[in-house]
Structure 1
Amino acid sequence: MKTISKNYWKYLFWLGPFLVIMGMVAGLVSAQWGAIPIGLMIGGIVATLLWLLFQAQRNSWWSRRSTQAGTNALIATLAVLVILGLVNFLAVRYPVRVDLTETGLYTLAPQSRQLVRSLQKPVKLWIFDRNQNPEDRLLLENYRRQGQNFSFAYVDPQVNLGLANKFNVQRPGEVHLESGQQRRLLQTVNEQERLSETRLTNALQQITSNFKAKVYFLQGHGEYPVAGESPLAQALGVLADRNYTLEPLNLAQQPKVPQDATVVVIAGARRSLLAPEVKALSAYLNQGGSLLLAIDPTINLGIDSLLKTWGVTLDNRLVVNPAGTALGYGPAEILVDNYGQHPITQDFSNGITILQAVRPIEITPVNGVQATPLLITSPQSWAESDLKSENLQFDPKSDRNGPLTVGIALTKPSSNARLVVVGSSNFITNEQFQQQLNGDLFTNSISWLSKQDAPAQLSIRPKEAKNRRINLQAAQANVLGLAALGLVPLIGFAAAAILWWQRR
């Protein structure tokens, strides 16, 4: 009976690994780690441990030095494997990514992150392309990590014809956004154009929001046109992408500002407004309206009475900064990097806004009006009164020393009326809109004037990789090559010779 029992214990070792393998196979095949796979694996481990105890009692091998050393090595190996497994588990469950690029190329803007996290309903992005660009997929993965309501999928339009017909796909590379019954074409990606965070965030904002706004652009005084090949085409396109409806406004043909006006813009006017027009704008502001004035130097619009009620006075002098010539800019091209604390400029930091031909703005405190300077020139600038002089020199008798305010935001809390005044209008035009923070200044102003103060409504600038390549001249390249092929080996040979001489 004892012999039979010993034989059973002898073969118990083979039962342990066999049960463990059965449990692993059952779990992997069924893709469900239920009671049966776990039970088999636990039974196999218990059987193996019982066999080890039996062998230790039978042969007394535990007291041997070799057994203890082997056991310690086994335990250390298992501990390392467990630690590595835990590290990998934590890395998968709680991933941490660090973007070391200078401009944060692989990090979403704060506006994008906040918007995705606040999505109240599922939104899905469909990319109808058989090829998956790694950069586009990385961008979409960043979006998906921000919230469960955002997802995306790549679809081959030549294979899944039903889905392609549902979205009316016309060409490969189309990107469509879907939320409930709403669908919209975002863009078409190809080798030259990749997926844009700016477009995607703006589209998410539009498809999940009921926000509608109408912006009227005053006409009839030489202002920039809204229709046709307008110098404001880029600025108008950005507003249209954000669900703004854009309309021209001629107050000489109607007695007052339309009731559905969210914002009225006066940009680039060259002639004075009529008295009834000024009266209509004043009534609009008194009722809680919003007005953006972009007025160039030497232009008299005849709205001094309107601005006086806000404490604003337009200076007819021209801001100059001859120090900018060292950077290749003209004296009338003003680089602004000093901003006031306001929602319009809160993300500008030390960025640059470029204004060509700009006038100063003076502020007088008025009860019931809150004024915040937006754009402040450098101390080296001044307001020049002699615009015909070729030799610019500061004249303390007629000129005004910097820093100067050239942009300001005002509000009347009692009526929630808002006003933004900038002493220049060319920063909105196609030639200047994409320069530095010019476009952000305009779009952020419209957002604030629309009473849309949430960060997700503000501008998101595209990120670009900075060129850090070193361009060497022919002589510099030759010197570098000789140093690498001749000087460095020579230094190594000399060091070896010195060591040999010391040890001989």
Structure 2
Amino acid sequence: MKTLASRRFQRRLNTVLIVLVVLFAAMVSTRYKIEVDWTYGNRNTLTEGSRRQLAAMPDAIRVLVFDYPNSESRGEVQALVARYQRVKKNLSLEFIDPGAEPIKARSYKISRPGVAVLEYQGRHETLEQLGEAEIAASLQRLADAGERYVLFLQGHGERSIMPGPGATQYDLTLLAEALGEKGLKVLPLNLLTTPKIPDNTSALVIASSTQALLDGEIATIRAYVERGGNLLWLTDPDYPAGLAPLAQALGIHWLDGTVIFANYTAVGSPSPAVFLTASYPPNPITGTSAGQFAKITSFPLARALEFDTAELPKAAGWRYAPIIETQADAWLETGSIDGEVAFDKDVDRRGPLTIGLSMSRELPAAGEQAKRNQRVAVFGDGDFLSDLMLERDGNKALAVALLQWLSSRDALIDVDVPRAPDIALNLPPWAFWLAGAGFTAIIPLLLLGFGIGRWLIRRRQ
């Protein structure tokens, strides 16, 4: 009898303990929340770029969503905005019924339900679709209150940024569009009609000039750099380097020839003149730690350059960091690249070779202008930014990061939302049948059998 009473007491005690554990877990779950993102690339967590962007915007941000109260998308919007609110406490979300408040909807020019408005420092942006990529682009535009421009030099055969009947696949129209989406204002610049580079220029881009510049234009560009202007200079093997005074002032020297990618057959590249890489030296654009930017980038028909500070005055103060650098087995081909190519030790130059280079220096305060950092980037290739190549692999991400850095928008570099390579699950008919039978019949029968078995065992005890 003592044994039976002891068992009954133990069962009652276990029941009480289980109830207490469940009640304690329920109480804790209402006060604390733990989230783990197991999606590919952590797609349900804000990227590090978005976090840096929010940190660079100290004032309050309002998200206004014009939608009807019974809309099924409200839950998705709340979940998305909650990610931002966990990082930025002064970011608010407000749902507005366009039917109940038509005047407010009209003031924001809302044309349909489901449209969102982001407000920051009295400025606002309208978003037809809500997602981290769309919000990031909108916040970048809102964060930049000044009228600063990225100017592309024109008039000497440079790659055009203007779409139209004369545009070719080697132009930069897609790049201009991508920069506009990031809040950068892009315009062409002709030094014959505008003899002075405006003071509100974030960066000047010289995109593969095929014709010589006038002496006055070279002097204007050099003066712009000497007074602290940011510059992106692109050239190609079959184009004249030109601008020798500017190269001398920057301490760089362009090398003749075409960079050859020695392992092109192993990776399936159609040409040895297309250099591919997914490895980058420490750099403020691609990252200072290994693996921060690991996307493949392509550089067709690239030339190399080298930097030599021996002839520069110490007061120049330039700091050099390679952006794109080849492996040791690459070489600079000085002969024809048609047909088979082979390294000739007498005339060709063996790697490592520098294709892209960043330069920066601290400029002292002058008058009302505070101390700041000047930035220059030079590339022996312009094709990697062209409409033909921009959407391939990581070229677009590199291009946007490059112009963000040159425009001194470090906090906005690399706001890139990872996408799963394949989120669709395709199963054969028998697998669908097995899954359906498993959940509707097999698993319930197994649970029932387990329960009956446990009951029989307890009866025998």
TM-score (norm 2): 0.78
Verify the 8 A CA contact 1:444 1:459 in the aligned structure 2.
yes
Unpaired runs of 5+ residues, structure 1, are: 1-63, 190-194, 482-504
Structure 1 equivalent of residue 139 of structure 2: 204
Structure with the greater alpha carbon radius of gyration:
1
Determine whether 1:289 maps to 2:233.
no
Structure 1 equivalent of residue 445 of structure 2: none
Compare relative contact order (CA 8 Å, sep 6+) and give the higher one, 1 or 2.
2
- Cα displacement (A) at 1:196: 3.0
Distance 2:393 2:30 in 1: 39
- Cα displacement (A) at 1:322: 4.5
Determine whether 1:462 maps to 2:417.
yes
Determine whether 1:228 maps to 2:228.
no
Structure 2 equivalent of residue 165 of structure 1: 106
What is the SS of the residue equivalent to 1:139? helix
Change (3 A) 1:102 1:122: closer
Structure ranking higher in helix proportion? 1
1:447 to 404, 417, 436: 404
Structure-to-structure mapping, 1:66-465, within 5 angstroms? 73-74=11-12, 76-116=14-54, 119-126=58-65, 128=67, 130-132=71-73, 138-153=79-94, 157-158=98-99, 161-179=102-120, 181-186=122-127, 188-189=128-129, 195-229=130-164, 231-329=171-269, 330-346=271-287, 348-365=292-309, 366=312, 367=314, 368-414=317-363, 416-454=373-411, 457-465=412-420
What is the SS of the residue equivalent to 1:398? coil
Distance 2:31 2:328 in 1: 53
- Cα displacement (A) at 1:407: 0.3
- Cα displacement (A) at 1:65: 9.2
Distance 1:92 1:238 in 2: 44
Distance 1:113 1:78 in 2: 46
Verify the 8 A CA contact 2:48 2:415 in the aligned structure 1.
no
Distance 2:90 2:66 in 1: 17
- Cα displacement (A) at 1:414: 4.1
Structure 2 equivalent of residue 38 of structure 1: none
Structure 2 equivalent of residue 27 of structure 1: none
Distance 2:330 2:355 in 1: 12
Deviates more, 1:309-318 or 1:343-352: 343-352
- Cα displacement (A) at 1:163: 4.2
- Cα displacement (A) at 1:396: 0.9
- Cα displacement (A) at 1:374: 0.6
Unpaired runs of 5+ residues, structure 2, are: 365-372, 435-461
Distance 2:111 2:354 in 1: 51
Corresponding letter in the other structure for 2:187: E
Structure 2 equivalent of residue 490 of structure 1: none
- Cα displacement (A) at 1:462: 3.3
- Cα displacement (A) at 1:411: 1.8
Distance 1:243 1:291 in 2: 19
Change (3 A) 1:404 1:167: same
What is the SS of the residue equivalent to 2:136? helix
Change (3 A) 1:336 1:281: same
Structure-to-structure mapping, 1:39-58, within 5 angstroms? none
Deviates more, 1:437-446 or 1:398-407: 437-446
- Cα displacement (A) at 1:392: 0.5
Aligned residues with identical type, % of pairs: 27
Distance 2:267 2:337 in 1: 24
What is the SS of the residue equivalent to 1:413? strand
What is the SS of the residue equivalent to 1:309? helix
Q: Output one character per residue of 1:199-228: Cα deviation in whole Å (capped at 9) or x when no partner.
A: 202312333453542111111111122333
What is the SS of the residue equivalent to 1:432? coil
Change (3 A) 1:176 1:291: same
Distance 1:427 1:91 in 2: 51
TM-score (norm 1): 0.72
Distance 2:424 2:278 in 1: 27
